[in-house]
């Protein structure tokens, strides 16, 4: 008689996320450098990266197949390998911009599917009381591996031959996937795998009707805790008289340390505070921090405080969001990968449109306009959502039998 394999601790379950982070770091920083070396104009580079990374916002449309037919470990292995091979191809052989973009679109689509399959796989293995720990470790490995991927790929592509650079990237980027050997991989749900596509489609549609899914989607699609300033502050160092070296220091080592600190703030607090109010509290406190920066002089120390603070709050928000996602997935969920892809795609979207809002704020009144726009929009949304959650809990307290499910979702 086969005994069930023991589920490893949360930090081990999160190690495969490092492959996702390293490839993402390559796409965001090293790939633009490769395109620039080919003479591609800066404006087109920005557009190319946006197109390449676009599966991060729509991959949920095709993610449901990750929950049927094969084990999620199999899907993770296949799509992780494809994503790394696309990266290696780009480093080893990049004769033209068109070929690079075509290969990396396939590579990033594979990466997005890898992330969904790994997230659904590990999320369906844990109990709800472990969701905050898994969320924190996922965020830590994502942030740290992103920086590591940038450092490694940038160094080897500039200092080693293409063959040696490609070999180094292949080995290092795939290494986290060795932990697949230690993570149990339950088979897919036999019913979903064997019955008709219509039956499976009904299951996916029913997923969208679950109130806890709708509550999480609402919180993530609205810019309640996106902290998109972390993606734009790198270009505003001169407004604070910060040197390029100082900007790089804050963006590299500072960003990683702040991300780790913000991520590990969440698990101990989650033992006492429900996840959804905590997510909104992070957004409100973070928005207040952003507004307080308007009172400080435009000097390098203020820039460092802004960069570290925004990264701490964004990491805390991501950690809480992942915890909510893993809690919603629940142990043994047959649609775990679908749920993970849907909610993580929703979580990433506000970062994109808030960058446009922050940009318009900058055009309106410089750094002060950008900070004010980001804080007022995000903070205002958090306050409105907080009022909604408070009303749900108030209804529950006045009518204990009227809305038990809503009260549970509010927590």
Mean pLDDT on 319-333:
90
Q: What is the pLDDT of residue 386?
A: 87
Give the span between the Cα atoms of 123 and 104, in whole angstroms. 28
Which of 233 and 331 is assigned the larger pLDDT? 331
pLDDT in tens, 127-148: 988 999 999 999 999 988 988 8
Region of poorest pLDDT, from 94-108, 245-259, 341-355, 385-399: 385-399
pLDDT in tens, 31-74: 888 888 888 776 677 778 878 888 888 888 888 888 888 899 99
Most confident of 98-107, 163-172, 395-404: 163-172
Taken in order of first residue, the domains within the chain and their CATH numbers are: 1-188 (1.20.1250.20), 196-411 (1.20.1250)
To 10 degrees, what angle do helices 336-398 and 211-221 make?
A: 100
Q: DSSP for 327-338, please give it.
A: HHH-TT-TTHHH
Q: What is the pLDDT of residue 372?
A: 94
pLDDT band for 194, please (50, 70, 90 cuts). low
How many CB atoms are closer than 10 A to CB 305? Answer: 17
Q: Enter the pTM of the model.
A: 0.85
The yes-or-no verdict on residue 3 having pLDDT over 90 is no
Q: What is the pLDDT of residue 193?
A: 52
Which runs of consecutive H residues, i.e. helices, occur in 160-297?
A: 162-174, 190-194, 197-208, 211-221, 244-249, 255-264, 266-270, 275-292
Residue labelled with tokens 């905050």:
132
Q: Are 137 and 130 in contact (CB under 8 A)?
A: no
CB contact set of 99 (below 8 Å; sequence gap of 6+): none
pLDDT band for 352, please (50, 70, 90 cuts). confident
Q: Would you report the helix, strand and coil content of the chain in percent, each value rounded to 5?
A: 80, 0, 20
Q: Are 217 and 276 in contact (CB under 8 A)?
A: no
Closest CA to 125 of 192, 203, 79, 186: 186
Closest CA to 122 of 336, 271, 316, 345: 336
């Amino acid at each position: 008689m086969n005994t069930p394999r023991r589920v490893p601790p949360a930090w081990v379950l999160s190690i495969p996320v490092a492959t996702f982070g390293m490839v993402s770091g390559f796409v965001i920083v090293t790939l633009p450098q490769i395109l620039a070396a080919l003479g591609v104009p800066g404006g087109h580079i920005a557009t190319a990266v946006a197109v390449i990374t676009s599966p991060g916002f729509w991959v949920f449309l095709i993610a449901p197949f990750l929950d049927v037919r094969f084990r999620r470990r199999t899907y993770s292995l296949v799509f992780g390998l494809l994503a790394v091979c696309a990266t290696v191809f780009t480093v080893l052989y990049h004769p033209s911009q068109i070929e690079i973009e075509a290969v990396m679109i396939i590579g990033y689509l594979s990466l997005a599917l890898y992330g969904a399959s790994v997230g659904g796989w590990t999320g369906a293995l844990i109990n709800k009381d472990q969701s905050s720990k898994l969320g924190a470790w996922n965020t830590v490995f994502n942030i740290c591996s992103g920086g590591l991927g940038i450092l490694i790929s940038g160094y080897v592509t500039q200092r080693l031959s293409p063959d040696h650079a490609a070999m180094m990237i292949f080995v290092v980027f795939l290494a986290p996937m060795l932990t697949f050997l230690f993570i149990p991989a339950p088979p897919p749900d036999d019913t979903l795998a064997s019955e008709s596509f219509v039956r499976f489609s009904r299951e996916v549609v029913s997923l969208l009707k679950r109130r806890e899914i709708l509550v999480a989607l609402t919180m993530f699609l609205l810019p309640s805790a996106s902290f998109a300033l972390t993606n734009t502050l790198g270009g505003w160092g001169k407004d604070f008289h910060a040197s390029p070296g100082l900007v790089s220091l804050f963006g590299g080592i500072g960003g990683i340390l702040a991300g780790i600190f913000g991520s590990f703030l969440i698990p101990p607090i989650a033992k006492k505070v429900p996840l959804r109010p905590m997510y909104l509290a992070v957004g409100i406190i973070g928005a207040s921090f952003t507004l307080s920066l308007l009172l400080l002089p435009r000097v390098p120390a203020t820039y460092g405080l802004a960069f570290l603070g925004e990264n701490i709050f964004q990491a805390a928000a991501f950690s809480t969001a992942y915890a909510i996602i893993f809690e919603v997935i629940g142990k043994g969920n047959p649609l775990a990968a679908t749920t993970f892809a849907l909610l993580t795609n929703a979580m990433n979207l506000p970062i994109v449109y808030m960058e446009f809002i922050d940009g318009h704020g900058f055009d309106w009144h410089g750094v002060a306009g950008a900070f004010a726009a980001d804080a007022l929009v995000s903070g205002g949304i958090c306050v409105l959502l907080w009022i909604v959650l408070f009303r749900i809990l108030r209804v529950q307290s006045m009518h204990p039998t009227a809305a038990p499910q809503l009260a549970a979702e509010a927590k």
